[in-house]
Chains A and B, each alone.
Chain A
């Protein structure tokens, strides 16, 4: 069989050693990726095998084939799209409001040092508070349903966003601020042209963390009060002992969270270009 020629980048002059090095890098990458896939297939295969041979009880732990069948029927009758749509909408709304709102609060606190000093202890306390404890109060204040779920999602993400972005803003090199001042920049110009761009790496990190937290907030909110959504399916499934439904919803959640994370990673790649 003809050996496939290694595709090399355009820029450098090569030696045999360099070519060997590049080939080793590529092989290492393939090795890691192969093992990742093998582990996943082995896990699914073993799970299915143990369930089929009744070593584990599929009534309690389900099995890949049962999950596949449940998902197929949910797709066939169209109900899955409604639940995905609602959960996705709640998550994206909570994610966007918390990210934008938290960043705006951080800007305000950066702008006024006095305000920052006043609110710093409150932020620390709010950050350590388990937000699920506020669930009943949120339902009382904004009613049950989608609004309560979005508020829960926002509460979980916003404090962390504010703290991280504020830290990024205040840790900007003071000499760079001095440089801007020596060029007669006003405070808005200092923020817009220096503070904000230099905090972009932290902003991307916040997006990545918020992707995870937003899903936690939404599912927690749906556990507390909902009549639709993937969280609702999980709660409903566990109440009526439909573990297949619980597992199917969890798998769909995994896929959606991964897709959202990939979206943020693409944004990061674009930013670092």
Chain B
């Protein structure tokens, strides 16, 4: 499988009034096409910063990030970003929310993309809700709309910044399954940033564990759990051992800080 994303000795510093903070130190890792990678690490280690660097919303201080063979220098059209909350615009209908990205960009194949948006709505049971306002939808449906809004632009790489953290536990498990299946059926590569080890293990093909600040890659685990969906993967007999392994790594980091 080809590499879609490649981090090469990436460093990131940011300035505050009192000091210069070294947030990321010599990060090296890659994500292959169609792979689902998760990044876990102690709180405040710079996980979300990594996503901002990939999206080109922040510039790297040194090193290089390659996306589909091209160096990331500004915000890339190949990226789709999903945040902690769905951030649907309450004054817009579901259809208007989904096509927001298309409105913002001058596209030649806009009609095709609109048709694709309609197909996605039908496929994921939201077609009948297209003229509703977001407040009329459940938490799970709203997350699906947020994902479709991202998919409509046909990004090569999806960045998921704790997209389930605002949901209650039961909804979270279901939405997690939904999102995973949508990403797999649309054949997308994804990077998930999360605090939830179970979520990371059940969704990912690759798990990147970061150290505390300045964040370095502490360990990369390739995951091969049995099951078609995250819920099924949680049933795998090695799931518990893997959870303990990641937990210990993260606890060690926490103790260091």
User: Which A residues are within 8 Å of any B CB, using their own CB?
Assistant: 173, 175-176, 178-185, 189, 193-194, 197-198, 200
Contacts and interface: CB of A to CB of B under 8 A. Distances in A.
Given A183-B105, A184-B75, A178 B81 contact: yes
Q: How large is the interface on B (under 10, 10 to 19, 20 to 34, 35 or more residues)?
A: 20 to 34
Given A176-B87, A193-B103, 16 more contacts: A175-B83, A176-B89, A179-B81, A182-B80, A183-B101, A183-B105, A184-B75, A184-B77, A184-B105, A189-B104, A193-B89, A193-B100, A194-B89, A197-B89, A197-B91, A198-B91
What are the 7 closest A-B residue pairs judged by CB atoms, nearest first?
A182-B81, A183-B101, A185-B104, A197-B91, A176-B87, A175-B83, A183-B104
Nearest to A175: B83
Interface string B97-109: 0001101110000
Contacts of B101: 183
Contacts of B8: none
Contact of B87 (A179, A185, A189, A200): A179
A200 B91 contact: yes
Nearest to B84: A175
A181 B83 contact: no
B142 to A, nearest CB: 14
Given A175-B85, A193-B104, A183 B91 contact: no
Contacts of B81: 178-179, 182-183
Contacts of A183: 81, 100-101, 104-105, 153
Identify which of A176, A183, A189 gathers the most chain B CB atoms within 10 Å of its CB: A183
Interface string B59-85: 000000000000000010101110111
B75 A173 contact: no
B23 interface: no
B104 A173 contact: no
A178 B57 contact: yes
B233 to A, nearest CB: 29
Contacts of B75: 181-182, 184
A198 B91 CA distance: 8
B55 interface: yes
A173 B85 CA distance: 11
A180 B104 contact: yes
Nearest to B153: A183
Contacts of A175: 83-85, 87
Nearest to A176: B87
B90 to A, nearest CB: 8
Contacts of B89: 176, 193-194, 197-198
A126 B47 CA distance: 44
A182 B87 contact: no
A175 B101 CA distance: 15
By CB atoms of chain B within 10 A, which of A178, A185, A197, A198 has the most? Answer: A178
A82 to B, nearest CB: 43
Nearest to A183: B101
B51 to A, nearest CB: 9
Please indicate which of the listed interface residues A173, A176, A179, A200 has the most CB atoms of chain B within 10 Å of its own CB: A179
A91 to B, nearest CB: 30
A184 B107 CA distance: 12
A108 B26 CA distance: 41
B103 A179 contact: no
Contacts of A181: 57, 75
Nearest to B161: A175
Contacts of A200: 91
A185 B153 CA distance: 13
A173 B87 contact: yes
Interface in B104-153: 104-105, 153
B22 to A, nearest CB: 23
A193 B91 CA distance: 10
A187 B104 CA distance: 11
Contacts of B55: 182
Tell which of B80, B91, B103 has the most Cβ of chain A within 10 Å: B91
A182 B91 contact: no
A189 B106 CA distance: 12
Interface string B201-223: 00000000000000000000000
B80 to A, nearest CB: 8
A155 B121 CA distance: 51
A182 B104 contact: no
A179 B79 CA distance: 11
A200 B80 CA distance: 28
Contacts of A189: 104
Given A183-B153, A184-B77, A178 B105 contact: no
19 contacts: A175-B83, A176-B87, A178-B57, A178-B81, A179-B81, A180-B104, A181-B57, A181-B75, A182-B55, A182-B80, A182-B81, A183-B81, A183-B105, A183-B153, A184-B77, A185-B104, A193-B103, A193-B104, A198-B91
